[in-house]
Amino acid sequence: MRYLSILTLLALLVAAPASAQEAGFVSLFNGRDLTGWVGDTAGYSVENGLLVVKKEGGGNLYYEKPLSDFILRFSFRMEPGGNNGVGIRAERGKDAAYYGMEIQILDDYAPNYATLQPYQYHGSIYGVVPARQGALRFAGEWNEEEIHVQGSRVRVTLNGTVIVDADIEKAGRPVTMDKREHPGLFNRTGYIGFLGHGTRIEFRDILLREL
């Protein structure tokens, strides 16, 4: 019995660091309503515990509190041809791709996206940093994503694969990849939000840890 107890204790000690890594994460979505979210709330709904971007809705739905450095985790599922985005350090009421940053959510495999620019694929910092392709699952399947923002570094991990790891101070100078003005690219604080573009996307397990 004593031998078994020691093994059990060792197993608990080994598991402790993994559990500690989850400390500090809070849920941003209660699965019942849009409490804590502001903006284009009419373009979103709650269905069976999921946050849903309406097919004929969308718009920008922001978490109510501005943030600076953070880790955002969520799962998402798209319909074929799905198109959305995650605004980070964004200015409310403006286009997050330019007044902040937009992390692409896109069905890369859809025929209508066959001629994308490198900075338009899923996970890219739109117009600024291209994402590594191939980690996205097909439409109808759940994906897990993490966006880690600290200082000028942005890291995007999709289904366990790092697809973006960039220093925006370098990526955005002297010009961005799309050669357009991005007045909010170097914002140090702003809002996170989902940026619906008229296709149905489902989200769940939306977790945040401030750094």
The answer to whether position 11 is within a domain reads: no
The answer to whether position 63 is within a domain reads: yes
Q: According to the model, what pLDDT value does residue 10 have?
A: 38
pLDDT tens track, the chain, 211 positions: 344 444 443 343 333 333 334 779 999 999 999 999 999 999 999 999 999 999 888 999 999 999 999 999 999 999 999 999 999 999 999 999 999 999 999 999 999 999 999 999 999 999 999 999 999 999 999 999 999 999 999 999 999 999 999 999 999 999 999 999 999 999 999 999 999 999 999 999 999 999 9
Cα distance between residue 53 and residue 99, in whole Å: 22
pTM confidence score? 0.88
The answer to whether position 117 is within a domain reads: yes
The answer to whether position 56 is within a domain reads: yes
DSSP character at residue 171: H
Total count of domains within the chain: 1
Full domain range(s) for residue 40? 26-210
The answer to whether position 96 is within a domain reads: yes
The answer to whether position 60 is within a domain reads: yes
The answer to whether position 204 is within a domain reads: yes
Q: According to the model, what pLDDT value does residue 56 have?
A: 85
Tokens of 178: 């799309």
Q: According to the model, what pLDDT value does residue 57 have?
A: 85
- Are 103 and 127 spatial neighbours (Cβ–Cβ below 8 Å)? no
Q: Which residues contact 124 (CB under 8 A, 6 or more apart)?
A: 103, 104, 118, 130, 131, 164
Q: According to the model, what pLDDT value does residue 148 have?
A: 98
Q: Look up the CATH number of the domain holding residue 116.
A: 2.60.120.560
The answer to whether position 3 is within a domain reads: no
